[in-house]
Structure 1
Amino acid sequence: MTENPKLLISHGDKGGTGKSMAAALVLDHFLATGAPVLLIEGDAGIPDLALRFRGSVPVTLVNLNRAGDAETSFNKLGNVLEAAAAAGQHVVVNMPAGAGDTIDELAPVLSEIVSAVGYELVVTFSIGPHRTSTDALLKSLDRGLLSVVDPTRRSVLFPLFLGIAAQFDWSKSPSRADFMSAGGKEAAIPALRPDDLRDKILAAPGAFSVLGEDKAALTITERALFRRWLALAHAAIASVV
């Protein structure tokens, strides 16, 4: 691999803001480029991405939802990252809901590990539409995971299935201009519609790009709609990875 491998963490507010979708799209992006990539599934109890990508990429389970015992999670996480860096693999971490209490608590430790093993740390924050999500983002920027990331390597993702970006509280926040002027990025993840196509795609295992070519899984019209969505989603992800 000619470039430094990337460690991308799909962070965000509580459940339902599209963290898993963002992580899945990043994995699909790396697979499309032919780059070696490892998935770290951060919730052993609900390993949704681990089940989707099993057989497509190597998967490791590291329970990151361990408030009060973050050191145990970080010990395993550090060992996995060290081995992955030696193998030249990009790493995508799918954060579970509520993992901020674990990962934010030891953000300086993570920064030290990443620097030591030679990863470029990239963090996306999938934001919800309400003020509480803006507050969670600002907290992470102030003293959590986003505070230890190079400003040009941190991004806010608008999940458009929750509404248009202009209606999100973050879009109206006075802190947004500071975030952008420091080099932060934003991208909008398009909504996958119609709903029955979305449900079919989310229920099917495998990388998105493979599903787009599966004539048995989708009708002609569904494939056309899905490929359009995937092209837009890939462009959004490529702009922040």
Structure 2
Amino acid sequence: MKHLVISHGDKGGVGKSIFSMLAVEFGLFSGRNIAIVEGDTKIGDVKARYENVASVLSVNLDKSGKDAENAIATLFGHLEGLESDFVVMNAPANAHKALDSYAKLIVPVARELGFQICVAWMVGRESSSATLANESAICQVADRKIAVVNRHESDYDQDYYWFTTPRYKDVWIASGGLTGEIPELASRVGAKVKEYQGRSFASLAGPESPLFIVERQIIKNWLRKSWQESVIPLIEGE
């Protein structure tokens, strides 16, 4: 089965890049033929970490109107020429301008190429995050979707409007949506991971890693738990 995994959320700083990286790591671990779409070309942190281990397409998706349509056409033209069976798209802030406005272009083309469409909606603290998730056109037509709280980038006890207001969460679940979390990573280790931007998480957890053994094990445990709670349910279903 071929998968197009879209890390969405529309807001900045909600963990789209982290989820994209976790999805890439899972694809590499699973032996999939990976392609990465770096849609956040201003920051480009997903591209920076994986450009030496996977095919990376940099396409600015922070566009609207015909510019967005042209960007999507360029993107899928590249994808059609690849043999990748696992594509991870890291969306920028304001990605609704391209992803949601042109869902009726993206979805049929992706499906004709043989991809299942899997969307991770990264949950923000504001109530608008819940509203936007339930209104997102690409979420509505995805084969599978999951709302994910990124505990790595936020205070663990912070209340998220999404999870404290049933009328939003219930609508999401009733429409077939799943919910999940990326667990918190120890701050000391998280700082080390950010320091080595050009290395995959797996390489930082491996025998050739510059990190201490205990730090490697913390990354391994975090990766496994992150996959179990957010990535695997999206790719394989509950």
AA matched with 2:191: D
Q: 1:189 and 1:107, CA in 2 relative to 1: closer, same or farther beyond 3 A?
A: same
Q: Paired residue for 1:119? A: 115
- Aligned residue pairs total 230
Q: Is the 8 A contact 1:156 1:185 kept in 2?
A: yes
**Of the candidates 35, 42, 45, which is equivalent to residue 45 of structure 1?**
42
Q: Paired residue for 2:188? A: 196
Q: Is the 8 A contact 1:56 1:206 kept in 2?
A: no
TM-score by length of structure 1 reads 0.89
Q: Is the 8 A contact 2:134 2:140 kept in 1?
A: no
Query: Shift of the alpha carbon at 1:196?
Result: 2.7
Query: Shift of the alpha carbon at 1:89?
Result: 2.5
Q: Paired residue for 2:234? A: 240
Query: Shift of the alpha carbon at 1:179?
Result: 1.9
Q: Paired residue for 2:87? A: 91
**Of the candidates 134, 138, 142, which is equivalent to residue 130 of structure 2?**
134
Q: Percent identity?
A: 27
Q: Paired residue for 1:79? A: 77
TM-score by length of structure 2 reads 0.90
SS at match of 2:234: coil
Q: Paired residue for 1:109? A: 105
SS at match of 1:59: strand
Q: Is the 8 A contact 1:6 1:121 kept in 2?
A: yes
Q: Is the 8 A contact 2:131 2:168 kept in 1?
A: no
Query: Shift of the alpha carbon at 1:19?
Result: 0.3
1:89 & 1:139 partners in 2: Cα distance?
Answer: 28
CA RMSD of aligned residues (A): 1.7
Q: Paired residue for 1:178? A: 171
AA matched with 1:180: I
Q: Is the 8 A contact 2:37 2:58 kept in 1?
A: yes
Q: Is the 8 A contact 1:186 1:240 kept in 2?
A: no
Q: Paired residue for 1:29? A: 26
Query: Shift of the alpha carbon at 1:165?
Result: 7.6
Query: Shift of the alpha carbon at 1:164?
Result: 4.2
Q: 1:67 and 1:214, CA in 2 relative to 1: closer, same or farther beyond 3 A?
A: farther
Query: Shift of the alpha carbon at 1:214?
Result: 4.5
Q: Paired residue for 1:6? A: 3
2:40 & 2:10 partners in 1: Cα distance?
Answer: 15
Q: Is the 8 A contact 2:203 2:209 kept in 1?
A: no
AA matched with 2:217: A
State the Cα deviation string for residues 5-37 of structure 1 (Å, max 9, x = none): 101111013111000000000000010011111
Q: How does 1:140-151 map to 2 (within 5 A)?
A: 140=136, 144-150=137-143
- Unaligned runs of at least 5 residues, structure 1: none
Q: Paired residue for 1:223? A: 216
